[in-house]
Amino acid sequence: MNRRQFLAIGGATLASLAAGPGAAAPSGPLRKPIPSSGERIPAIGMGTWITFNIGSDAQTRAQRADVLRTFFAHGGGMIDSSPMYGSAEAVVGDLLGRLDYPQGLFSATKVWTSSGDDGPGEIEQSRRLWGVERFDLLQVHNLLAWRPHLETLLAMKDSGRLRYVGITTSHGRRHGDLEQVMRDWPIDFVQATYNVVDRDVEQRILPLAAERGIAFIANRPFRRGALIDRVQREPLPAWAADCDCADWAGLLLKFIVSHPAVTCAIPATSRVEHMVENMRAMHGRQPDPALRRRLVEHVRSL
């Protein structure tokens, strides 16, 4: 990443990085700017893949309401879902209604259909399920039929029916196509897989996001649980205290959100105690580049 790219990221991120190990912890949860608008959003969001696909079960929905309540109580904002996630959008909409649509909600979902013509209908169905007047962010899911969908989303943004436009991929796939979209289209967000093990995006996608002023959402921060299951068999290294981490979840998430070009990570969980751990990653000192490298090497050695 060159100096120009680095400066494009925004003052708040630089300030949090400059704090480094041993520096005074910033006050309040970490919020990072969306480059295209300057609006700040909490650095830890919430994914809904699997965890909120629970159908109509009243008992489980009540438990997930506790998870969602905890998310907002700890400064959460972005909830990310998709029509591909089964009942997740319906569950999220139901639970947001029970919580009276907490202040700070940043609603993010996706359009996922192979036909551009079907996009508007699917988006309207998602909007009804969520019960929101308009979405904050709509993303083309996994680059499926991305040209017609991006045209739809950009037209919605122009007419004030949508605030931000994005595109997603995962598992490190189609980064070449993603780069093309990031270069050629005026998108606000890009979403891809990034964690301490899956770091392909560090080569081209994250620098390009910084250069083009595109917010970056990191999905699969725990590799759907497999990564955290693996590292939790080992003790937390003592140097994790240098970035105020008391658990592996916090350390793995801080690795992600401390990258200057990352706007937020979206871990998914179905448990209140794990949500509390996740949200703690927005507090205290963030790892500096040396500590980030140390974590990469440490996880690689496990």
Using the rule CB under 8 A, give the single segment among 65-73, 85-93, 244-252, 254-262 that binds other proteins: 85-93
Q: Does 113 bind other proteins (CB under 8 A)?
A: no
* Nearest distance, CB of residue 13 and other proteins, angstroms: 30
Of the listed pieces 19-27, 45-53, 96-104, 232-240, which binds other proteins according to CB under 8 A? 45-53
- Identity of the amino acid at 25: A
Segment interacting with other proteins (CB under 8 A) among 23-31, 48-56, 248-256, 283-291? 48-56
Phi-psi region at 142: left, alpha or beta (left = phi > 0; alpha = psi -120 to 50): left
Name the segment binding other proteins (CB under 8 A); options: 46-54, 93-101, 131-139, 236-244: 46-54
| Choices 12-20, 70-78, 79-87, 147-155 (CB under 8 A): range interacting with other proteins | 79-87
Task: Give least dist CB 173 to other proteins, A.
Answer: 5
HSE, side-chain direction, 13 A CA sphere, residue 207: 9
Residue 53 lies near other proteins (rule: CB under 8 A): yes
Tokens read off for 269: 């969980």
Q: How many Cα neighbours within 13 Å face the side chain of 65?
A: 15
Torsion sign over Cα 171, 33, 68, 295: positive
Q: Are 110 and 168 in contact (CB under 8 A)?
A: yes
With b for 16 or more beta-carbon neighbours within 10 A and e for fewer, the 229-261 pattern comes to: eebeeeeeeeebebbbbebbbbbbbbbbbbbbb
Determine which residue in the list 40, 87, 120, 200 makes contact with other proteins, applying CB under 8 A. 87
- Do the Cβ atoms of 178 and 150 come closer than 8 Å? no
Smallest distance from the beta carbon of 171 to other proteins, in angstroms? 4
For residue 41, count CB atoms less than 10 angstroms from its CB and return exposed for 0-12, middle for 13-18, buried for 19 or more: buried
| Binding of other proteins by 117 (CB under 8 A) | no
* CB nearer to other proteins: pick between 55 and 289: 55
In 10 A of CB 160, how many CB atoms? 8
Taking residues 247 to 276 in sequence order and writing x for each that binds other proteins by CB under 8 A, - otherwise, the string is: -----------------------x------
Judged by CB under 8 A, the residue of 60, 161, 202, 207 near other proteins is: 60
Question: In the set 38, 55, 104, 121, which binds other proteins (CB under 8 A)?
Answer: 55
Work out whether 86 is an interface residue with other proteins (CB under 8 A). Answer: yes
Segment contacting other proteins (CB under 8 A): 24-32, 168-176, 184-192, 246-254?
168-176
Q: Which is nearer to other proteins, 95 or 162 (CB)?
A: 95
User: Which of 77, 45, 39, 36 has its CA nearest to residue 214?
Assistant: 36
Say whether 260 sits in a helix, a strand or coil. Answer: coil
Q: Closest Cα to residue 95, out of 69, 123, 73, 77? A: 69
The CA distance from 44 to 253, in Å, is 8
Q: Is 36 in the site for other proteins (CB under 8 A)?
A: no
Q: Does 84 bind other proteins (CB under 8 A)?
A: yes
With CB under 8 A as the contact rule, the residue among 13, 16, 48, 51 that binds other proteins is: 51
How far apart are CB 272 and other proteins at their closest, in Å? 15
Residues that bind other proteins (CB under 8 A): 49-51, 53-57, 60, 84-87, 171-174, 224, 270
